[in-house]
């Protein structure tokens, strides 16, 4: 539904290209994660996806219609909703209701439709609309403000939601909540394009990861392939940490435990460990003087 076809971009004439030949697509209901060190081009891709920037070469296509053709632009642009980095810094209304209603009102919807959209968006991010609606957004916690900002974009009912560093600056519990809301949206069919350094979170949600390096896609694939043990060196060179659970699995493998090289979530690791330890216990019972862990790593 959203396709980048050989997209290159420079910000100013004669300036160097900051993106070169970017080619990928996001299918309906899919989640794509953009990784890579600061300056590698993630935010620029999000701006192209929602039509804030036009490609220097190539095209960005939504539902087979190029974003750059004028007659398509207005119609198509709000199909992709962008939540910028630190969106809570752009809150400006006196009440939560007015904040989330701003976009739908600008679309010229009736009061009843505006109310419906605001309630739907606030519920989606975990609030009780009638409780939160009259509150002052500036009096909320950081995590709550971010959810309000997210609701403001959701109220436009985008089919693709693009998020720039959505986990940055949140407490662990707020990160966890946000992750759960994004998963909920994803399960209900919103496509997600997420630029992030938060490898633990993105590895659990994304169908595909694109690892950027100086404006090009250096590595791509589903999380369990990108974070396979064999990519350790490559990931380091790209400035990327593995998810904590993946790094732990790699260490256990290097100690000789026969654990899959493609672990990205805790349940997988627990399953593998249980199976591996079960084998050892069975072997230990048959051979009472052998079968300890040190023996296996020898």
Ligand X SMILES: Nc1ncnc2c1ncn2[C@@H]1O[C@H](COP(=O)(O)OP(=O)(O)O)[C@@H](O)[C@H]1O
Size of the site for ligand X (CB under 6 A): 10
Rounded to a whole number of angstroms, the distance between the first and last alpha carbons of the chain is 52
33 binds, among Mg ion, ligand X, none (CB under 5 to 8 A by kind): none
Q: Which is nearer to Mg ion, 144 or 164 (CB)?
A: 164
* Shortest Å distance, C-beta 164 to Mg ion: 6
* Shortest Å distance, C-beta 214 to ligand X: 8
Binding window for Mg ion (CB under 5 A); candidates: 43-51, 97-105, 228-236, 249-257: 43-51
Cα 145 to Cα 95, 100, 207, 213: the distances in Å are 12, 11, 28, 32
* Residues between 36 and 55 that touch ligand X (CB under 6 A): 36, 38-44
153 binds, among Mg ion, ligand X, none (CB under 5 to 8 A by kind): none
Binding window for Mg ion (CB under 5 A); candidates: 5-13, 38-46, 66-74, 218-226: 38-46
* Shortest Å distance, C-beta 104 to ligand X: 29
Kindly tell me which residue out of 2, 32, 35, 43 binds Mg ion, with binding defined by CB under 5 A: 43
Which residues are paired to 201 by β-bridges? none
44 binds, among Mg ion, ligand X, none (CB under 5 to 8 A by kind): ligand X
Residue 196 contacts ligand X per CB under 6 A: no
* Shortest Å distance, C-beta 38 to Mg ion: 7
Binding window for Mg ion (CB under 5 A); candidates: 36-44, 117-125, 207-215, 271-279: 36-44
Q: Which residues bind ligand X (CB under 6 A)?
A: 11, 18, 36, 38-44
Q: Which residues bind Mg ion (CB under 5 A)?
A: 42-43
């Amino acid at each position: 539904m959203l396709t980048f076809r050989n997209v290159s971009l420079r910000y100013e004439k004669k300036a160097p290209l900051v993106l070169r030949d970017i080619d990928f697509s996001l299918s309906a209901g899919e989640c794509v994660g953009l990784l890579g060190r600061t300056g590698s081009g993630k935010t620029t891709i999000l701006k192209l996806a929602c039509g804030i920037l036009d490609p220097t070469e190539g095209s960005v296509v939504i539902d087979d219609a190029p974003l750059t053709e004028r007659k398509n632009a207005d119609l198509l642009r709000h199909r992709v909703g962008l939540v910028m980095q630190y969106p809570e810094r752009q809150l400006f209304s006196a009440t939560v209701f007015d904040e989330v209603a701003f976009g739908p009102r600008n679309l010229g919807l009736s009061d009843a439709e505006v109310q419906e959209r605001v309630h739907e968006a606030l519920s989606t991010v975990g609030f009780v609309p009638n409780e939160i609606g009259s509150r002052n957004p500036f009096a909320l916690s950081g995590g709550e403000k971010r959810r309000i900002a997210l609701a403001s974009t959701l109220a436009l009912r985008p089919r693709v939601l693009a998020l720039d560093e959505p986990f940055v600056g949140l407490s662990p519990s707020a990160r966890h909540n946000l992750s759960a809301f994004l998963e909920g949206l994803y399960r209900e069919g919103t496509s997600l394009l997420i630029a992030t350094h938060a490898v633990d979170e993105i590895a659990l949600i994304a169908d595909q990861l694109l690892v950027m390096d100086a404006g090009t896609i250096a590595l791509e694939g589903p999380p369990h392939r990108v974070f396979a043990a064999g990519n350790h060196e490559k990931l380091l060179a790209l400035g990327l940490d593995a998810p904590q659970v993946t790094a732990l699995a790699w260490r256990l493998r290097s100690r000789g435990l026969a654990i899959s090289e493609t672990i990205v979530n805790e349940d997988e690791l627990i399953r593998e460990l249980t199976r591996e330890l079960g084998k050892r216990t069975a072997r230990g019972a048959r051979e009472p003087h052998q079968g300890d862990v040190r023996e296996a790593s020898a």
